[in-house]
Structure formats: structure tokens, C-alpha cells
Amino acid sequence: MSSRHSSALSRDTNLPTARNVPPFPLRQLLVLALCRICEPIAFMSIFPYIYHMVKDFNITEDENKISFYAGMVTSAFTFAEFSTGFLWGRLSDKIGRKPVLLCGLGGTGLSVLLFGFAPSLPVALFARALGGLLNGNIGVLQTTIGEIVTVKEHQPRAYAVMPNVWCLGSIIGPMIGGALAKPVENMPALFSPGTIFDRFPYLLPNLFSSICVFIGLIIGILFLEETHAEKRLQRDRGLELGNYLLSRLQRKRTATTKGGNPEEQPLLFETDEPLPRYLTADGSKNSLENAARGCSFDLEASNHVDRMRPIKSEKKPGKVLTRSVLLIIASYGLLAFHTMTFDSLLPVFLSTDVPADKKTLSLPFKFADGFGLDTKTIGVVLSVQGLYSMASTSLLFPAITAKLGPLRLFRFVSIAYPLLYVITPYTVLLPKSLHMVGVYALIVLKCTYATLAYPSNAILLTNSAPSTLSLGTINGVAASTASLARAFGPTVSGFLYTLGLERGYSGLAWWVTALFTIAGAYISISIQEPKGRLDEKDEADGPLPEQHEFLATTGQP
């Protein structure tokens, strides 16, 4: 009898075996991803040419110091972001997530344009710093996802979306940066000497980035929904305009396909899910005219019923920065420090020319060498890095997280990280025919670790929040911590890398960074599984009414 009831219950897809899990909020995450994609394109596009850009500034004739100044340019953004990240997080708790995200996009667009016109190192530093000051999107994005995703079952898949977006930007950005830098030299048939692109040889990739940012800004204004618990029902004229345009597009599409194939629909509406907010509380459809007049086109299908009901106000959080939260933030800061160090050191490591007068070789530690790759080759390497990261984030992370859980996964990766930084400098000692094999092996290891560590840490941080009303503050503190770490990473590593080359130790910067990964591994062991608002919600939900009936018939408590 018990087996028969159990089989019947499991066959009914409308009766989950644990509790009623809402649909995955794909639409809102898609819009958020379209807004986000422009930022990694702009950020990553400078890496293939930053070494050569600093060299063209002619601020030093000592090529060993170029890596230090390149690190300064990279760090200017993160130093500035550190100074305002917490403020943007707090501001998003007060005015909502959408205005802060759009402001960050506008700041990024202005920054990349100014950077493309930079004639000197001070202007380049100012342009990067301006982008950091006006952009607090890292923490606010994590907050937005934390509010979109309301059940733990969706977290592995949802928290893989933004890393995938970053990975896609990591593919496009370096390719654009490497291919479009110095167009007069690299594409003389299209760009003539004496033009603006000759005077500003790094303008073209930044111009491309600014166009991407502008598109993302428009998408955000028209289609991005507010997720703040107290601000999401306020009127949004930009969203209303987007609804109106979508309704006109659908009516025009319907008119042109009338009498044709009834299954032909616009791409945006290719889904079995009903368009939320186009339904009344009893499920009957409203006209598109009513939707266009002000009914919000809700890109989050799973929440359309909740939005029809009065929102239950969340209790004000008590202590926000608990010991658990602080440990997770500290581990996030160390993770950001050493991964940013790797990202900034790798292009410099690959660009470093083989020294004419090699220092005395004395293994295992004393050796100085480089790969001497050009910007196009480095751009391809970094693009492959992004492509593999997408595969790892999409395939490995959800599967491994489902088996290990975010805490055990984060601990495992943190403990494995030190070995990566120890072995990296030794790849330059491989035979020349195996150089690229060694480089791509490093890329695979680095990307696998990063795509497992970052989203698992983000899940731990979100789950530790006592309330969504404190998420902006918590993620703001985390973003500021990570920004400070990312700022110091390239600067310190650039100095150590230059010092190492001068003294004959190519691995100095890598090995010092390995010490920070050991500290991160120690902290990860101290982190406990957080019990926050989602756990409380799970306990409050309890079994479904149908499950109560089933449990009663089987005699189970």
C-alpha cells in the first residue's frame, strides 16, 4: 500500500516529493545576463595589449618595469571600486537594485571611452579609476540573484549564469582587444596612417566596448525588473516602455503570420510558460493593450503569482556581519586576490621576451625566462580560457555541487589551489615545442578551480544572510573586500615579478601568491555551513497538503 501511494505521488509532476518548487527564473536571469555581458568585455579586452600600451607611453626604458606599471593600470579600477563598493551596496538597499546597476553600466561606458583616448599613463589611470568609482555592480548583481532565486534547488544553476556571462565576455573581450589594438599596424588596408586610430592606437577596442555597454544599458532600462522587496512595486517608466514595445512587436508579428504557421512565434515568447502579469489573479488573460498601459512584463515567471498578492514585509535584520559571514567574506577576498594576481600576471608572463643574457640557472628556484608571445596569440589564449570556463561552469559546477554541496566543494578547491601557483612558473622551462601545451594545461587547471570556487562561495554568502534586506550591505562589504584584494594583487605581483626577473627568479611572484592560497585554505576549513533565511523558509514551508494526506495514509509522522 505504501509503495503504491509512493509511486503515484512520484508520477505526478505537480506533487513534488519534498515541497512545491517554483519554476526556474530563466527570463529575469537572461535580461540580467544581457546587461552584464558588456562589463567583462570591457574589462578583459585590455589584457592582451596593456603591456604594449604602457610600453608605448615611453615612461621608462627599463622593460622589466613595464609589468609594474601595467599592474598599476589594472589595479586603478579595483582600488576605486573598493572605495565605493560598500556605499553602492548600501545605496541599493535604499533605492533599489536597478538604478544602481544602470549607473554602474553608465560609468563603465564613460570609463572605457576615456581609456581609449588616453595619451599617457596618468590619463589611463584616471580612466580606470573613474570606472571603479562609478561601478558597484559586482555586489549588487549577487544581491539581485539572491533575491531572484528563492529556493536552494535553483542555486547551483542560477549562480552559474553570471560566471558563464563573465566567461563569454572573457572570450569576446581578449579577442577584440588583441585584434583591434593598433589597427593602423595590424589592418593597414582599413586604417590609414594619420587618422585618429593612428594617434590613439588603442581606441578601437574601447570604442567597441562602449557600444556593447550602451546596448546593455538600453536593455536594462527597458526590461530589467526591480527585485528589492520594498521597491519592486514602484512604477518603472522604462519597463513600461519596454512592455509597450514588446506588445507592439507581438501584435505586428501576429498580424504578419495570420493565416500562416500558427506555431511561428517571436523568439522572446518561445516558451511554454504563461507570460506573467498578462494574467489576472484567476488566470484569465488580459489584453495586450492593458499590459502595454502599465502592467509590468515580468521576466521572472516563477514569481508572477506572488506579485499579484500583497508582499509580506521582511523583518529588519539584526546583526548582519556575523562570524560566519565574515569568514566567507575573508575567504572571498583571498580568492579574489590570488585569482586576480593570476589573471594579471599571465599575460605579462606570456609577453615577457626571452632575455638575451639569461641569469645563472640554478634549479629548482633560480631561473628567469619568458614566452615572448605577441598580442594576437595572447588574445587567443585568453579566449580559450573563457571558452573552457563556460564549459566548466555549465557542466562541472552544477553536477559537483549537487553531490558535494557548496561548502565541501569550496574547501576542496581552496586546498588544491596552492599547487597551481607553485608549478606555473616552471612551464617556461619546458621545451619550446611544448610551451603552448604547458600554457593550456595551466589554463584548464586555473579555470576549473575558479569556476568551482566563485559560485560556491557566492551561494555560501547568500545563504548566510538573515534577510534579503541585508543582502545589499553584505554583498557590498564582500565586493569592497574583493576589490581591495584585486587592487593589491596586480600591484604587488607586478612589483614581485619585476624584482624576480632582475634577480633571476621568474617564479617569485607566483610562489608568494601561493602563500595567500594556503591562508585561504585554512579559512575555508573554519567556515561552517550557514543557516539563513532560505533554511528558515524551507522549514516554514513544510510538506505540501497532498503530502500530509499521503503521509497519513502510510502511517508516517
Q: How confident is the model at residue 17 (pLDDT cuts 50, 70, 90)?
A: very low
Q: For residues 300 and 25, is the Cβ–Cβ distance under 8 A?
A: yes
- Alpha carbon distance 378, 392 (integer Å): 21
What number of residues does the chain have? 557
DSSP 366: B
Q: 149, 152, 176: which is closest to 38 by C-alpha?
A: 176
pLDDT at 489 over 90: no
> What is the distance, to the nearest Å, from the Cα of residue 243 to the centroid of all Cα atoms in its chain?
27
- The DSSP result for 121-184, as a single string, is HHHHHHHHHHHHHT--HHHHHHHHHHHH--SGGGHHHHTTHHHHHHHHHHHHHHHHHHHHSSHH
What pLDDT, on the 0 to 100 scale, is given for residue 414? Answer: 95
Mean pLDDT in residue range 471-478: 83
Please, what is the average pLDDT of the chain? 77
Q: For residues 213 and 232, is the Cβ–Cβ distance under 8 A?
A: no
Q: For residues 59 and 69, is the Cβ–Cβ distance under 8 A?
A: yes
The radius of gyration of the chain's CA atoms, rounded to the nearest angstrom, is 26
> What is the distance, to the nearest Å, from the Cα of residue 251 to the centroid of all Cα atoms in its chain?
36
What pLDDT, on the 0 to 100 scale, is given for residue 535? Answer: 56
Tell me how crowded residue 374 is: count the other CB atoms within 10 A of its CB: 12
What pLDDT, on the 0 to 100 scale, is given for residue 513? Answer: 93
In three-state secondary structure terms, 270 is coil
Tell me how crowded residue 256 is: count the other CB atoms within 10 A of its CB: 10
What pTM does this model have?
A: 0.68
Output 104 or 473, whichever has higher pLDDT. 104
**HSE-up of residue 441 (Cα within 13 Å, Cβ side):** 14
pLDDT in tens, 120-144: 999 999 999 998 888 878 888 888 8
pLDDT at 114 over 90: yes
Burial level of 49, CB count in 10 A (0-12/13-18/19+)?
buried
Q: How confident is the model at residue 350 (pLDDT cuts 50, 70, 90)?
A: confident
Mean pLDDT in residue range 51-58: 87
pLDDT in tens, 433-447: 888 899 999 999 999
Q: How confident is the model at residue 259 (pLDDT cuts 50, 70, 90)?
A: low
Output 143 or 281, whichever has higher pLDDT. 143
Mean pLDDT in residue range 162-174: 81
Q: For residues 472 and 87, is the Cβ–Cβ distance under 8 A?
A: no
Residue 285: strand pairing partners: 279
